[in-house]
Amino acid sequence: MSVLGTVSSPADLRTLDQASLTTLAAEIREFLVATVASTGGHLGPNLGVVELTLAVHRVFRSPVDPVIFDTGHQSYVHKILTGRRDLFDTLRRFDGLSGYPSREESPHDWTESSHASASLSCADGLSRAFALTGQDDRCVVAVIGDGALTGGMAWEALNNIAEGDGRRLVVVVNDNGLSYSPTVGGLVGPRRASVPRKLFGDLGLTYLGPVDGHDLEALERTLRQARDHGGPVIVHTVTEKGHGYAPAVNDDIDRMHSTGIIDPVSGQRRTGGGRTWTGVFADELTAVGAEREDIVAVTAAMAGPTGLDRFAARFPERTVDVGIAEQHAVTCAAGLATGGLHPVVAVYSTFLNRAFDQLLMDVALLHLPVTLVLDRAGVTGPDGASHHGMWDLSVTGTVPGIRVAAPRDGARTAAALRRCTAVSDGPTVLRFPKGEVPADVPALRSTPDFDILADGGEVTADGLEVLVVNYGALTAQSFAAASALVDAGHHVTVIDPVWVTPVADSLVDAARDVDLVITVEDNGVHGGAGQQFHRALVAAEVDIPVRYLALEQRFLTHGTRAEILAESRLDPTSAGRRAADWVEHLRR
């Protein structure tokens, strides 16, 4: 039997000698490559923390001693060692193993930690709770890395952790010099070995390191010293992202940070390759940048995933990478706009939640021309509850003076970007989903404020006039709802607005003489595009029924986009059935 086959809990690690541990580390890497190659996931980060995770679980007593990973995508080895190895063929699949720590999966997972830079605040609070309740024998461990120390929240926490004499808290810094791409800022570069000792020392924190993050004996020796210190300790480990897997180590972009399905030998992608929403945006932004010298791109450590790497390759002097710091990114953009430029800030939709105050008070209040591009809007798929971009229409809809675009296809995405960057008196937002962009959906005819995508059906004696308002990428669902109603003897018009917000007067006028409005969107129902339109109707005293085809207001699981939409009754079949049910109810 392999050594890996004998390990089902952290306690099993403590019986192994160093030779067995070395074998185990190699077997874990082989297992990770084989399984993640077939499911997709965060490969590079986990290959880099094999020895580190082994050492943490040999020295500390999880779950008695909480271990928190930041970000949580580097927790695969932790999952393997805590009894979930046999579930890895379901990784990031519907009803399967989460790609992040999950309290529902195991008592060894104390929090999800799927957004960066939050672990130290959680660890600070946990250590305070243990101290206040007399649990002085418990130690809290936070493993922070993959660029998470570029986030301001981590430093807010360190400021408080430094006051924690007597609290048993160990901060393990996994220093691999990378986040999604090479980490930026003053904490990296040739000074990696000297800056942290002085920096953490000046905060009053005990500092140990740097330690070779692939030397098990050195790691264990240092971690035991930290565990027994009796107060907060920083353990600085230096690791190599992708360690032990040549395709990852040789990947100069991000060390195979996150992969789709790949060939385990070569590391080459096996699926995909079509044009993506992100790619459409990236090409158009580069074209706009070539025409306008005032366009500046801003990224929070994710130039590649958001498509800004193409702009950066062409205009490096007009590209700003602030690290994993979305709050700073938006207010930095406000400063750029104040200086006469037009910044384009590209982030994942779900990460905008972190920068709402900056959008509201630093950008919108000052009527500054900042364009926010929200990638991964709506249902994203395998990254799960924390990464579905289902809040952005609700959040941005509360901002005075904002203009929000949700294009239905690639052509409309390119056009929307140009509309957004042409605005000079306030913030604009462009949102689109993850994945391959569908074929363009042409309009039957257009008005300045909306496209008419379908207009048909013979109205029977008891038939109704129905207006379907399509917001964004769920055009198939809008057409399915319309088709079901036309088959039932109703007249249906499907329109697609130029802007989600503000709601155009002509859009309200289009609804004045219908019997029912159905809105379709890839966003949570509460405060979403449908409810914003409904409020506009109420304000105009247009008193007609409105029904929403939108995401349920709950945290959605992980799986494919199609699976999650179906579970949320937002697939085309469900859209048609629900629309027919609504109309039938109105006719009773």
Assign a CATH topology to domain 4-249: Rossmann fold (3.40.50)
Q: Check if 4-249 and 445-587 are the same fold.
A: yes
SS3 (DSSP) at 482: helix
Q: What is the pLDDT of residue 149?
A: 86
The response to whether 381 counts as a known ligand-binding position is no
Please give the pLDDT value at position 269.
80
Q: 415 pLDDT exceeds 60?
A: yes
Q: Pick one of 3.40.225.10, 3.40.50.920, 1.10.20.140, 3.40.640.10 as the CATH number of 445-587.
A: 3.40.50.920
Q: Would you please indicate which residues are annotated as catalytic (active-site) residues?
A: 241, 326, 354
Give the confidence band of 194 by pLDDT, cuts at 50, 70, 90: low
Judge whether 12 is annotated as a binding position: no
Query: Would you say residue 115 has pLDDT above 90?
Result: no
Q: Is 3.90.1150.10 the CATH number for 277-431?
A: no
Mean pLDDT for the stretch of residues 539-560: 95
Using alpha carbons, select from 404, 426, 386, 414 the residue that is nearest to residue 471: 404
- Asked whether 147 and 183 are in contact (CB, 8 A), the reply is yes
Residue 401 pLDDT > 50: yes
Q: Is 116 annotated as ligand-binding?
A: yes
Residue carrying the six token digits 């769920």: 474
Q: Cβ neighbours of residue 279 under 8 Å, at least 6 residues apart?
A: 307, 437
In the prediction, which pLDDT does 272 show? 62
Query: Residue 63: is the preceding peptide bond cis (ω within 30°)?
Result: yes
Rounded Cα gap, residues 475 and 441, in angstroms: 8
Percentage of residues in the chain having pLDDT higher than 70: 96
Write the DSSP symbol of residue 212: E
Q: How far apart are CA 529 and CA 535, in angstroms?
A: 10
pLDDT of residue 360: 98
pLDDT (tens digit per residue) in 90-100: 999 999 999 89
Which residue ranges make up each domain of the chain? 4-249, 277-431, 445-587
Higher pLDDT, 426 or 381: 426
580 assigned ligand-binding residue: no
d(CA 109, CA 92) in angstroms, rounded, equals 16
- Band (pLDDT 50/70/90 cuts) for residue 199 is confident
Segment 471-496 shows an average pLDDT of 97
pLDDT, one tens digit per residue, over 17-71 is: 999 999 999 999 999 999 999 999 899 999 999 999 999 999 999 999 999 999 8
Q: What is the mean pLDDT of residues 270-291?
A: 91
Annotated ligand binding at 207? The verdict is no
What is the arithmetic mean of pLDDT over 397-409? 98
The arithmetic mean of pLDDT across residues 157-161, rounded, is 92
229 a known binding residue?
no
- pLDDT digits 0-9 by tens, 430-476: 999 999 999 999 999 999 999 999 999 877 778 899 999 999 999 99
